[in-house]
Structure 1
Amino acid sequence: MSSWDLPPDYPLSSDFVRRLKSALATGDKDMVQELICTEAEPVDAVIELANDDWMKEPSAQLPTGALLGLWTLEYKRELTTPLCIAAAHGHVLCVRHLLSRSADPDASPGGRGALHEACLGGHTACAQLLLQHGADPDLLNAEGLAPLHLCRTPASLGCAQALLEHGATVQLECGPDRVTPLHVAAQHGLDEHAQLYLARGASVDARNGRGETALSAACGAAMRSPDEQARCLRLCALLLRGGAAADARDEDERSPLHKACGRARPSLCTLLLLHGADAGALDYGGASPLARALQTTTCAPPAAQHRTVQALLNYGSPSVWPDAFPKVLRTCAQVPAVVEVLFNSYAQLRVSESWLEVVPEEVYQMHEPFYRSFFALAHTPRCLQHLCRSTIRKLFGKKCFYLVPHLPLPETLQKYLLLEPEGVLR
């Protein structure tokens, strides 16, 4: 019978657990230390910190999910040990004391050991102590993940270093998605972790269960804050310098560029294009990176909403099929710079006054100078300067971004050739 099946030494209803939970909730480190180091017996006592067994307790208040029918027949408890609690909260002295009393560093009645807890919390000193006392650096938790896979924050870098120094497997594929530690670092934008793993021999283009490389995982991850985005950009640059395939496809034939465009990250898209990503690649659904960029235009920061579309077109992406332009106008009307960049990628595209119906009146009024110039083209051809631009761009093809800056032209004309928006159409 496993520890999970045995009654806990300290059930949820016990006075010990009540005092422990109170101390943890208030951050009373002294009380936590006293309880788990002096009162808890035996040293590897099983402690029940939570019990979601509302189905067996009629008086229990049902969680919201149950009221929606999202309940499970599974009996769930949070079981732990004094050592796990100490490691999870970074109590180094407690960890040392418990280990000196021969606490089992790999005990995990709740499916997660003390080393897992230390890594999740980024507590390097605790992780080092556990490893020095024989903790298994590749021990899998209940989800099938090793400690390295739980190093998910910048603060956990020291834990990752300690794990590798004690023999952790850098190329270990874990969990239902068969991810490596490098995939985890990529998903969380941890550039220093990635550098550490690559230096220890991690395969830069290893695939997970969905066919993603670390670069693909990084490009598809949600990075919300500027700091997260900056770290992710550094990580992707590191992977590309390390030989990562810029155009590696996942099981849906999506490339890293597809995913970066879907996340509205122009700097990352430009980086991928500079390293040879195919601007015209199609996924299984027939979507191009440009289509993904147009779909997420309104999600991009205001100062960069047109940059991804501009970069893709300057690296040879085919433009949108002319008959589909009204659909693009409907989606991107509130971002006229995107409409302008895309419209200028055609040598000649007939403007229909019926398109006015897809531009909301309030959007038209907000950007009236642009839309007045746009619909004025329904009655007149494009100017000679634009036609010259189109001819040069057609001649340069996919090399526009590289060749235009070498032309003996003023910077303003170079920007014009590279579709820099002006706010009006001529």
Structure 2
Amino acid sequence: MTTQVTVARNSQTGAINHEDYSLYSSMSEEELIEMAIEQSLTEGPSEPTAAKTASREQAVPSEPYYSQNFYLYPWQRHAAQSGGQTQTTSSGSPSGVWMRYDGSLFRTPQPEVPDPVVSAIKEGDEKALDAMMKSGKNLAQPNKDGWLPLHEAAYYGQAGCLKLLHKSYPGTIDQRTLQEETPLYLATNKGHLECVLALLQAGAEPDIANKSRETPLYKACERKNVDAVRMLLQYNADANHRCNRGWTALHEAVGRNDMEIIDLLVKGGAKIESANCYGITSLFVAAESGHLEALRYLAKCGAEINTQASDKASALYEACKNGHEKIVEFLLSQGADANKTNKDGLLPIHMGSKKGYFEIVKMLLPVTSRTRIKRSGISPLHMAAECNRDDVLEELVEAGFDVNATLSFERARLYEDRRTTVLYFAVANNNVYATELLLEAGANPNIDLINPLLISIRHGCLKIMKLLLDYGANINAYIASHPTTFPATIMFSMKYLAVLKFLMDMGCDGNSCFDCLYGCGLHPAIETRRDRYNDSLEEKQPHPVQFCEIVSTPEMNRWAGPIIDVLLDYVGNVQLCSRLKEHIDSYEGWVNIKKKAELPRPLAHLCRIKVRTVMGKDRIPLIDTLPLPGRLIRYLQYDFTH
């Protein structure tokens, strides 16, 4: 039945209408379909108008198996009424065109018609294949991917079809696909041994590589196909061919830990010392992967135990990095040098300490040079403390490593805070156990540019603070790169009043907080900064910052009163500067603080301050141990509850 369909464009909406069925009557059905699809794709969906909706509803037939939301062309209605068979255009191709809710058209996916040649090969139908060739069909023409029927036969493992095709087209035996894959490569990759043998016997070249420069032998090793490897080597496949990464078949076999293939390759001429583009040999691969049997075999064949990659990492270093205890033990037994550094100057013991491999570190201790460690600019103690490897840290301390070893300048500058000591790492990690271990072993808490005590204050860890102070940490620590007129310990604890009181109880100097350069005079305007004490250490402050400047910053001014209140309990007769008075006057609730600061201070308070001063800050923490009445001890400790 010839059907005439017209498609008109609404000039205002750009939508496709179906009112006029006469303007395009001279066009074929196929031309109309293609035009409708092109317009739909170009214009995109649009909102249907009332007129369009009405016309669509009139065009939809009343049969129950049609959706009322779709407009159907006559040939589509005919297809549905005749049992759902797909109608075709004049060219013989199925139309499959439908309309969406928004009026746009779409084509339903059509089933692919299988290639009869490929179908015959997949089924192993040699007779059908032979009949095609006798009928004059040329089976030496590649498809769009460069595949010949011969490739298909190798891929599907149809040896009979493969032999038939090769007999008819012998010149195609080594022809490549667009990925440069030969029939032999495809057969090897899929593990079709009969096809592999047939191709080799027919004279296929065994060393033609694909785009990644992977040969059939390399692929056989990757697939752990021993028979294919043996077959290829019998036909003189190159055992030393490199892929685009410099990887050889032996590298791949060692990486797969296939001992039978490794043995075949070595006996077939594979070079043991062949290195890839990163300088990695097969022995290095075995050590890195933890394959002990392969490592023993290669070492027995004379492989270099101290082989190093391009980054100077040795096989021993990689084994330590990956925690392969048996590999490390074997390498050391074969004379592996534990004092070879990588490009960063790190030794195997550094990596073992960083990873926390206790047994490996124990094996390395007797054979590692302390001089080499010192030359590296970093101690294994640093690595263990940084990564919280407490058992390794304890072992290294017991082995006599210097707990006061410092990072070299080049390594310290990698950290923004310029940390240098092992103790700093432990405190920065808030690791109480490691901190106590190092302090008991003699770690000095006053070496770093930023005192570890300041870090513990920032963390708010009273236990670590107490440990550091018990072992001599400077309670009045300053930061040289950020000078202040009062201790940095007070500055770091301002937002934590309980910590501030604890530090003052332990003897921190609070008098310097009230030594203002301007006194009761006019103070200059405060310079607003994002956070002047979190800036880079290279940014030097031209003048030491005063206490009144710190508490006047927007972040701290709401804390000014309580901070001053705590400090006044630990100082004698001091004068509040005009700026501090201004802060206290700004809040009605701080009136009592101003009264507390009035001179002179109470005699009982001044006596307590005097006694504590005479005792000295080193003995203040020991007040509990003094042979004094309990009431006096509580008085000296500011215990206001008694």
Is the TM value for this pair above 0.5?
yes
**Which residue is equivalent to 1:294?**
454
**Which residue is equivalent to 2:351?**
184
Offset, 1:373: 6.3
Change (3 A) 1:377 1:208: closer
**Higher RCO (C-alpha 8 Å, min separation 6):** 1
State how 1:60-71 maps to structure 2 within 5 Å.
none
Q: Please give the per-residue CA displacement for 1:189-241, whole angstroms capped at 9, x wherever unaligned.
A: 32211101124x3234642544223224433x4x2xxxxx2xx2111211111
Secondary structure, aligned partner of 1:151? helix
Alignment-mate amino acid for residue 355 of structure 2 = H
Tell whether 2:417 aligns with 1:281.
no
State how 1:193-204 maps to structure 2 within 5 Å.
193-199=360-366, 201-204=367-370
Q: Please give the per-residue CA displacement for 1:301-353, whole angstroms capped at 9, x wherever unaligned.
A: xxx84444332222101123474668656656666665555444335525679
Offset, 1:88: 3.4
Tell whether 2:303 aligns with 1:135.
yes
**Which residue is equivalent to 2:569?**
380
Change (3 A) 1:98 1:425: farther
Residue pair 1:43, 1:103 contacting (<8 A) in 2 also? yes
**Which residue is equivalent to 1:241?**
398
Residue pair 1:340, 1:425 contacting (<8 A) in 2 also? no
d(CA) in 1 for partners of 2:470, 2:359: 32
Change (3 A) 1:405 1:179: farther
Q: Which protein has the larger Cα radius of gyration, Structure 1 or Structure 2?
A: 2
Residue pair 2:404, 2:444 contacting (<8 A) in 1 also? yes
**Which residue is equivalent to 2:579?**
none
State how 1:18-29 maps to structure 2 within 5 Å.
none
Offset, 1:101: 3.8
Alignment-mate amino acid for residue 86 of structure 1 = A
Change (3 A) 1:44 1:132: same
Match 1:117 to one of 263, 285, 310: 285
Residue pair 1:144, 1:176 contacting (<8 A) in 2 also? yes
Residue pair 1:145, 1:175 contacting (<8 A) in 2 also? yes
Offset, 1:175: 2.7
Offset, 1:173: 2.7
Root mean square deviation of aligned Cα = 4.7
Residue pair 1:343, 1:349 contacting (<8 A) in 2 also? yes
Secondary structure, aligned partner of 1:105? coil
Offset, 1:160: 0.6
Q: Percent identity?
A: 17
Change (3 A) 1:124 1:9: farther
Q: Please give the per-residue CA displacement for 1:272-317, whole angstroms capped at 9, x wherever unaligned.
A: 11111112224xxxx0542xx535866x6xxx84444332222101
Stretch moving more, 127-136 or 91-100? 91-100
Stretch moving more, 121-130 or 378-387? 378-387
d(CA) in 2 for partners of 1:297, 1:114: 52
Stretch moving more, 111-120 or 337-346? 337-346
State how 1:352-371 maps to structure 2 within 5 Å.
356-357=551-552, 360=555
Residue pair 1:112, 1:141 contacting (<8 A) in 2 also? yes
Residue pair 1:90, 1:123 contacting (<8 A) in 2 also? yes
Residue pair 1:37, 1:82 contacting (<8 A) in 2 also? no
Alignment-mate amino acid for residue 265 of structure 2 = L
Q: How many residues align?
A: 340
Change (3 A) 1:13 1:105: closer
Q: Please give the per-residue CA displacement for 1:331-384, whole angstroms capped at 9, x wherever unaligned.
A: 5666666555544433552567955556858997xxxxxx98655324434789
**Which residue is equivalent to 2:507?**
346
Q: Please give the per-residue CA displacement for 1:146-203, whole angstroms capped at 9, x wherever unaligned.
A: 1111124463111111101112123x2323344332223223332211101124x323
**Which residue is equivalent to 2:224?**
33
Secondary structure, aligned partner of 2:287? helix
**Which residue is equivalent to 1:413?**
none
Tell whether 2:476 aligns with 1:315.
no
Residue pair 2:222, 2:252 contacting (<8 A) in 1 also? no
Residue pair 2:320, 2:328 contacting (<8 A) in 1 also? no
Unaligned runs of 5+ in 1: 1-7, 21-28, 49-77, 224-228, 365-370, 410-416
Residue pair 1:294, 1:328 contacting (<8 A) in 2 also? yes
Structure in which a larger fraction of residues adopt helix: 1
d(CA) in 2 for partners of 1:244, 1:42: 52
d(CA) in 2 for partners of 1:135, 1:386: 76
d(CA) in 1 for partners of 2:263, 2:318: 22
Alignment-mate amino acid for residue 320 of structure 1 = N
State how 1:36-115 maps to structure 2 within 5 Å.
37=229, 41-48=237-244, 78-92=245-259, 94-110=261-277, 111-115=279-283
Offset, 1:14: 4.8
Change (3 A) 1:325 1:45: farther
Q: Please give the per-residue CA displacement for 1:377-402, whole angstroms capped at 9, x wherever unaligned.
A: 244347899998887784559xx8xx
Alignment-mate amino acid for residue 268 of structure 1 = A
Residue pair 1:347, 1:386 contacting (<8 A) in 2 also? no
Residue pair 2:239, 2:249 contacting (<8 A) in 1 also? yes
Q: Please give the per-residue CA displacement for 1:79-116, whole angstroms capped at 9, x wherever unaligned.
A: 21222233335445544543454533322132111222
Change (3 A) 1:278 1:246: same
Secondary structure, aligned partner of 2:246? strand
Change (3 A) 1:264 1:128: farther
Change (3 A) 1:37 1:156: farther
Secondary structure, aligned partner of 2:316? helix
